[in-house]
Amino acid sequence: MKLVKTFACAALIATFSAFAQTYPGKPVRIVIPYPPGGTTDIVARLAQNRLSALLGQPVVVDNQGGATGAIGAGFVARSAPDGHTIMYTPGTDMVLRPFIMKANPVDPIKDFTPIIATISSVDIIAATAASPINSAKELVEYAKRNPGKLTYSTPGVSSHFHLAGELLKIHGVDIVHVPFKGGGPAVAAAAAGQTSLSLGNLTTMHAVVRDRRLKVIALIDAKRNPNLPGVPAMNEILPGYEMPGSWFAFYGPARLPGAIVARLNGDITQAFKSPELRAKVEELNMTIITGKPEEVTAFMRKGIETYGKIVKAAGIRPE
């Protein structure tokens, strides 16, 4: 019986190996679990042609938005694990979804195979141009003197940036959340003076920061950014303030064969490291972070641990 099992395993490995050698055998679909026009969609389309050339097959970008990304994620989780349907999504959303959705249809660890993380964004706190607050230190001091007086916009309830604001409150910086439906409306509201602050990424805020309608006063990220050398990380002012970084990654369904993961990882790495794509990503104020699939899993486990603590401390419940 043991010999039979050994031969069966060997045959299965040989089948996967042969399949990987002919992969891809048809167009590859990249599911974006959000509507067109967002950062995820823009980056996937920037990589689309280069990736198609490397894979030797057409690459189709398929937007399947809805339910905070759960609809598209569920579609990929149910797809055949043959590498012809993969997903590109913010890793933060994959990690956050179990904490904010009662009816979350997928498990971020069990239902997917990590392929590669590709880029990270610069997460910031920005104040209105007219605000007397010009630094992270001034923000902390003002909020502690005037609890509940400052407001901040984010892309939505239970978003990464909402939790960043909740973590500020946990550290004694009492500011009031004003959620919007997406990063664009949240930034526009702050630029128009409807809120005191906006928490988001530099990619979304770039135009209003450039036009001096908002001013960057702090980084949500753990470290300073070389493109914003004078802006401190929030944890320099508030020791223990630790948010997971915002990163974007490719995933396949669970049980995606290792040989196909390796092929995709290599070709996606090559696509994102091409000078043309790198230049376009840098124009979006993002950083390329290609690496191994195991790094995606490590990012996710760290995010689950950190978000879990914040959600519990803030009393946020799944809806």
Query: Region 191-216: what's the mean pLDDT?
Result: 95
Same structural domain, 208 and 110: no
Same structural domain, 188 and 84: no
Residue at a domain's end among 220, 237, 255: 220
Residue 88 has pLDDT above 90, yes or no: yes
Confidence of residue 183 (pLDDT cuts 50, 70, 90): confident
Provide the pLDDT for residue 15.
54
For 32-66, the pLDDT digits (tens) are: 998 887 788 889 999 999 999 999 999 999 999 88
Same structural domain, 211 and 283: no
Same structural domain, 110 and 9: yes
What DSSP string describes 178-193?
A: EE-SSHHHHHHHHHTT
**Domain carrying residue 77:** 2-120+246-314
Residue 11 has pLDDT above 80, yes or no: no
- pLDDT top residue among 83 and 18: 83
Q: Sign of the CA dihedral 119, 42, 179, 192? A: positive
Provide the pLDDT for residue 180.
87
Provide the pLDDT for residue 17.
54
Residue at a domain's end among 152, 185, 220: 220
Confidence of residue 319 (pLDDT cuts 50, 70, 90): confident
Same structural domain, 51 and 197: no
Same structural domain, 115 and 129: no
Residue 8 has pLDDT above 70, yes or no: no
Residue 217 has pLDDT above 90, yes or no: yes
For 89-148, the pLDDT digits (tens) are: 999 889 988 888 888 889 999 999 999 999 999 999 999 999 999 999 999 999 999 999
Residue 28 has pLDDT above 70, yes or no: yes
Same structural domain, 216 and 175: yes
- Using DSSP's 3-state secondary structure scheme, residue 175 falls into coil
Same structural domain, 250 and 299: yes
Query: Could you tell me if residue 134 is inside a domain?
Result: yes
Residue 284 has pLDDT above 90, yes or no: no
CATH of the domain at 12: 3.40.190.150
DSSP state letter for 90:
E
Query: Could you tell me if residue 15 is inside a domain?
Result: yes
Provide the pLDDT for residue 157.
83
CATH of the domain at 203: 3.40.190.10
- pLDDT top residue among 206 and 16: 206
Query: Could you tell me if residue 235 is inside a domain?
Result: no
Same structural domain, 150 and 106: no
Same structural domain, 214 and 298: no
Provide the pLDDT for residue 36.
85
Average pLDDT score, the chain: 91
Give the integer Cα–Cα distance in Å for 122 and 220: 8
Residue 24 has pLDDT above 90, yes or no: yes
What DSSP string describes 199-243?
A: EEEHHHHHHHHHTTSEEEEEESSSS--TTSTTPPBHHHHSTT---
Same structural domain, 22 and 109: yes
For 253-273, the pLDDT digits (tens) are: 999 999 999 999 999 999 999
Confidence of residue 1 (pLDDT cuts 50, 70, 90): low
Provide the pLDDT for residue 123.
95
Report the number of distinct structural domains present in the chain: 2
Query: Could you tell me if residue 228 is inside a domain?
Result: no
Query: Could you tell me if residue 234 is inside a domain?
Result: no
Query: Could you tell me if residue 277 is inside a domain?
Result: yes
Query: Could you tell me if residue 214 is inside a domain?
Result: yes
Tokens of 104: 């979350």
The reported pTM is 0.84
Confidence of residue 314 (pLDDT cuts 50, 70, 90): confident
DSSP state letter for 115:
E
Same structural domain, 38 and 105: yes
For 61-77, the pLDDT digits (tens) are: 999 988 878 899 999 99
Confidence of residue 82 (pLDDT cuts 50, 70, 90): very high
